Structure 1
Amino acid sequence: MTAFRTHLEFLRKTDELCSLERPESPSPQVVAAEALRADGPAVRFRAAEKSHVGLASGVYGGVDQLTRQDRSPWTRLGIGLGVDRDPEYVDVLEAITDLGDRIDERDVTYVERAATATDRTVRELGLPTPPDEAWPHFTLGLLSVGSDDGTYWAPIHGTVLDGDTIRARVPAAIRERFERGESVTVALGVPAEALAATTLLTITDRLSTPIEDRRVGSTVPVIPTAGGLVPSSAEVVLETELATQQPDTRSEKPEFWERLVDGATVTLDVTGVFARDDAVVPFTPLDVPLADDLQLVALALAARLYDRVNGYWGVSPVDWLLLPAAGRLGICIVSTEVLYAGFEWQLANFLFSRSDCFDTVVLVDEETDPHDLGRVLGDLWVKAHPSRDWLFSEPDAPVARLPTYERDGTGARLYVDATWDPRWDEEYIAPRVSFLESYPPDIRTAVRESWTAFGFDSEPDDVGGA
């Protein structure tokens, strides 16, 4: 288990995090949005006052895959999950999948609470206030609901209305598990395992199983609170009760998981505020391209689909499966072996049947690298013939949830076979243009020697690539 502040320290050591003084103006939300737009590193804002918490944005993603660079959208989450300091994409998918697995017996580790009681109100924590709004917001939170059967976790985000009242959005499935006057707990700054697991379980409709019966319950040490178990290393813990008055139904700007599941509004009265010394919590500017909430959903859904598709045929034909955040999850790209004639059609329809968020599936060859999305999409015109390899369903197909172009209530599904025909002889298949394939061996050797003499650490594997 990697505590949130340890996660930030790992990002700092790998040059994935920069620290700034928190500005009085503009809002940290504006700075965070600009950092995402510019493909910058994660940003940590130091607390402006002693009573305030520190803030961190971009901790779980924020990189545009259409630009060629060393970092990838899964790098920062992979570091937080403890996969590696330079994690492979499939390893991150498998780590997320493992968190949602059922376990045979409960194995929960209880440890001492890291956050201590304070006399501060939620308003005095100094959470960020979005532009043109009057009240602070919190995002990327974890809601804990205790019951006789165990503890249920779900994502939560919302608005601080005053010193001891918050209006929040939670999945409708979890809202049904508690009544007015009951205690529930909100945790901010939780380990990546806990946040990734709650996102995965939410968007795959698996919130009905207590967290103690999931693998994440055995990997994240917890503490009991008035409202249920929460990660012991949480930076801020808010013990609350569901308010007796009717919830304010004014709309909140949604986190991205609300694009896939129904949400509900709740009003919570805060009865206790606990915080670590120099606490720091994550936040994300909502509805901004490449934001953390979008990246979390993209990776969690890709992990679920990757796991399901490789367990369907009794073999594992898919090398990787990607829902690019740059496409707001409206397209699904799959690197696969074509097992037999018609397999690509079956694979595309299997994916459409398992998710309604995208209306396009693109199949690419096994050797294709998920890091370079521009080259992946280039296979659409290099390998796929529009009259033969672009295949549409009937136009009255159900409308996918997430594509953002204008539609009239119906929409055909499309799959593109951008793989080389397996029946072709190898000599008829064009090689990729790269350093290793475009220059004679003596030139490649000379370039490597010069590269080393200049003091570069890694070899120029794709110098001259196009």
Structure 2
Amino acid sequence: MTAFRSHLEFLRKTDDLRSLERPETPSPQVIAGEGLRADCSAVRFSTDDSRIELVNGAYGGVDQSSRGDRYPWSRLGLGLGIDRDPDYVDVLERIARLGDRIETRDVTYVERAATATDRTVRELGFPTPPDETWPRVTLGLISVGANDGSYWAPIHGTVIDDNTVRARVPEAITDRFDRGDVVSVALGVPSEALAAAYFLTITDRLSTPIEDRDVGSTVPVIPTGGGVVPSSAEIVFEAEISDPQPDTRAEKREFWERLVDATTLTLDVNSVFVRDDAVVPFTPLDVPLTDDLQLVGLALAATLYDRANSYWGVAPVEWLLLPAAGRLGLCVVSTEMLYAGFEWQLSNFLFSFSDCYDTVVVVDDEASPRDLGQVFADVWVKAHPSRDWLFSEADAPVARLPTYGRGETGARLYVNATWDPRWDEEYIAPRVSLTESYPPNLRAAIRGSWAEFGFDTDPDSP
């Protein structure tokens, strides 16, 4: 388990976190949004006053359509404790395991990191977007306690007054509580906890207590007035659910709300616990490449990757990616071609499990998720527009996430950017790269010369 502030320290040590003084104007949301456009590091907004510190980009915020040494999954993978430079598939498999049931309940209770305070929620100083009136809470986790355990789900909302929060939660979690019940909200939680909340929401698995999931055996927790929450949480609210108030405003939403039904709650906060020098993540909503978009994309990719490799009795899919730059409207899948026509079956399988995208691109298993340029080059090189770009009928349901054609029906498209598996290998052109442009004997001679000069050479390199 990696506490949130430990996660930030790892980002700092890998030169992927910058610190700025928290501004009054322009707002942190404006700076964060511009930073995302520029592919900058995660940004920590520090303060010397009583307000909490904020971090943007702790879980993503990298545009994969441009070259760089960071990837959209790098920061979350680091927070999940995988590696300093985690492989994409390792991140998907780790997220998928967060939804697994475990045979025995193994819950570790440890001391609470946050301490009680008499400060109100409003006094903590959550950021107020430039076009809104109230401070906004994002990237939070709600915990609902019951006799059989605790249930976690994502939450975000606005601070209406000193101790009132109007929050948005998945509708499925509302079956676990009634008016007057006490729930807990945790902010600045370990990556496993937040990723699990997103993953369980998207996969409709909120009906099983968190203690019976894999994450329950890895994240130390504490009991609260609501359910259990991660013990290292930076801020914890205990709140009573009051009369629900219909939310008729066209309020901005986190991306998980585009995939599942959500509802509005009114929370009357009665206890606030805060760590010293508390720092919490936040995300500007409806901005490309934001943390909530990256979390949803990785959680959905992990779901589809796991299901596809569990369907055929073998595991043909090498990786599956929903690029954040395409706002998750595009699904790219790298696969072994089991037989002619497999790409058609795989594409229809993927369309049947999600309606957030309207385009599936199938690429060969040699393609890399780190190089979208290579992926799109394969679309032009291997996919003939007349036979490999295949559209459905024009009355297909509209995809949820693409912004074009909103509210109307439209065709779905899959692109087969693979070599025909019936072809003999000698008819398949080799992939062209700088190193492969030179004959093998010349490459061997160059490696030998470098070795004579005392340079290290990798025998497995081209």
Give the TM interval when normalised to the shorter protein: over 0.9
> In structure 2, what is the Cα distance between the partners aligned to 1:448 and 1:316?
39
Is 2:23 the counterpart of 1:19?
no
Displacement of 1:304 after TM fit? 0.5
| Residue equivalent to 1:228 | 227
| 1:75-114 map, 5 Å | 75-114=74-113
Q: Is the 8 A contact 1:249 1:265 kept in 2?
A: no
| Residue equivalent to 1:193 | 192
Distance change in 2, residues 1:199/1:431 (3 Å): same
Q: Is the 8 A contact 2:221 2:230 kept in 1?
A: yes
1:307-328 deviations in whole A, cap 9, x for unaligned? 0000101100010011111111
- Of stretches 294-303 and 448-457 in structure 1, the one that deviates more from structure 2 is 448-457
1:437-458 deviations in whole A, cap 9, x for unaligned? 0124546865997899999999
- Amino acid corresponding to residue 276 of structure 1 in structure 2: R
Q: Is the 8 A contact 1:336 1:366 kept in 2?
A: yes
- Amino acid corresponding to residue 287 of structure 1 in structure 2: D
> In structure 2, what is the Cα distance between the partners aligned to 1:452 and 1:15?
34
- Of stretches 11-20 and 171-180 in structure 1, the one that deviates more from structure 2 is 171-180
| Residue equivalent to 1:322 | 321
> In structure 1, what is the Cα distance between the partners aligned to 2:55 and 2:298?
20
- Amino acid corresponding to residue 336 of structure 1 in structure 2: T
- Amino acid corresponding to residue 38 of structure 2 in structure 1: A
> In structure 1, what is the Cα distance between the partners aligned to 2:451 and 2:285?
43
Q: Is the 8 A contact 2:244 2:264 kept in 1?
A: no
Distance change in 2, residues 1:316/1:258 (3 Å): same
> In structure 1, what is the Cα distance between the partners aligned to 2:244 and 2:63?
44
- Amino acid corresponding to residue 19 of structure 1 in structure 2: S
| Residue equivalent to 1:416 | 415
| Residue equivalent to 2:215 | 216
- Residue aligned with 2:113, SS: coil
> In structure 2, what is the Cα distance between the partners aligned to 1:211 and 1:408?
36
Distance change in 2, residues 1:245/1:425 (3 Å): closer
- Residue aligned with 1:100, SS: coil
> In structure 2, what is the Cα distance between the partners aligned to 1:408 and 1:138?
29
Displacement of 1:85 after TM fit? 0.4
- Residue aligned with 1:175, SS: helix
| 1:32-431 map, 5 Å | 32-49=32-49, 51-244=50-243, 246=245, 248-406=247-405, 409-431=408-430
Q: Is the 8 A contact 1:108 1:217 kept in 2?
A: yes
Displacement of 1:47 after TM fit? 2.2
> In structure 1, what is the Cα distance between the partners aligned to 2:244 and 2:218?
38
> In structure 2, what is the Cα distance between the partners aligned to 1:111 and 1:259?
36
Please provide the CA RMSD for this pair. 2.3
Q: Is the 8 A contact 2:289 2:324 kept in 1?
A: yes
> In structure 1, what is the Cα distance between the partners aligned to 2:449 and 2:51?
53
> In structure 1, what is the Cα distance between the partners aligned to 2:449 and 2:235?
52
1:291-340 deviations in whole A, cap 9, x for unaligned? 00000000000001000000101100010011111111111111101111
Between the two proteins, the alignment pairs up a number of residues equal to: 461
Distance change in 2, residues 1:419/1:14 (3 Å): same
- Amino acid corresponding to residue 283 of structure 1 in structure 2: F
> In structure 2, what is the Cα distance between the partners aligned to 1:299 and 1:26?
31
> In structure 2, what is the Cα distance between the partners aligned to 1:143 and 1:163?
19
- Residue aligned with 1:225, SS: coil
Displacement of 1:176 after TM fit? 3.0
Percent of pairs identical after alignment? 73
1:382-408 deviations in whole A, cap 9, x for unaligned? 001111111122212222211222256
Q: Is the 8 A contact 1:248 1:267 kept in 2?
A: no
